[in-house]
């Protein structure tokens, strides 16, 4: 003869299953939070590394000096407009690299002569990839000056 479970036993089993599922849910939520935190840390390190590779002198700034630099040169009306322009391109769409630096350098710094550009070889930060034997225009950095 098969014994039938009482209603109370069925309720107790159901409650135990609910506890197990709640614990599994908590574990998954904690795992998701950890993944999000790691992704954010990776993004922050990658972006700050990019800033330091483009502007090596920022590595020696104090936190307050770096904040002032960002406020004065990036988090201003011009920077916000450029950010809005980039956002308008849509997700995944990026402006051509060769056009971006030329536009920025023309508006931020005076143009350099071809001799000055040739004599100033870019130095890569520690850990950056270096392309040996490649001409500057092939590096994807947007440099268009060529020896003539």
Contacts (Cβ under 8 Å, ≥6 apart) of 130 = 124
Higher pLDDT, 128 or 90: 90
Place of tokens 């850990």: 127
Picking from 112, 118, 116, the residue whose alpha carbon sits closest to that of residue 135 is 118
The pLDDT value given to residue 91: 57
- Give the Å distances, CA to CA, from 36 to 22, 97, 106: 21, 29, 38
> What's the predicted TM-score (pTM) here?
0.49
Q: Kindly report, residue by residue over 69-120, the tens digit of the pLDDT.
A: 999 999 999 999 999 999 998 755 555 554 444 444 334 444 444 444 444 4
**Collapsing DSSP states into helix, strand and coil, what is residue 139?**
helix
Which phi and psi (to 5°) does residue 139 adopt? -80, -10
Higher pLDDT, 145 or 35: 35
Q: Kindly report, residue by residue over 4-40, the tens digit of the pLDDT.
A: 889 999 999 999 999 999 999 999 999 999 999 999 9
The pLDDT value given to residue 94: 54
37 and 29 Cβ atoms separated by less than 8 Å: no
């Amino acid at each position: 003869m098969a014994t039938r479970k009482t209603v109370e036993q069925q309720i107790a089993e159901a409650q135990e299953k609910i506890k197990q599922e709640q614990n599994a849910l908590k574990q998954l939520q904690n795992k998701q939070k950890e993944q999000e935190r790691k992704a954010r840390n990776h993004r922050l390190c990658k972006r700050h590394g990019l800033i330091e590779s483009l502007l090596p002198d920022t590595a020696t700034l104090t936190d307050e000096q770096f904040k002032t630099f960002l406020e004065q040169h990036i988090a201003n009306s011009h920077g916000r407009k450029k950010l809005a322009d980039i956002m308008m391109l849509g997700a995944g769409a990026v402006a051509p690299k060769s056009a971006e630096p030329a536009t920025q350098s023309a508006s931020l710094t005076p143009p350099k002569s071809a001799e000055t550009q040739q004599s100033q070889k870019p130095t890569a930060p520690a850990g950056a990839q270096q392309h040996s034997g490649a001409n500057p225009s092939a590096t994807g950095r947007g440099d268009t000056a060529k020896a003539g």
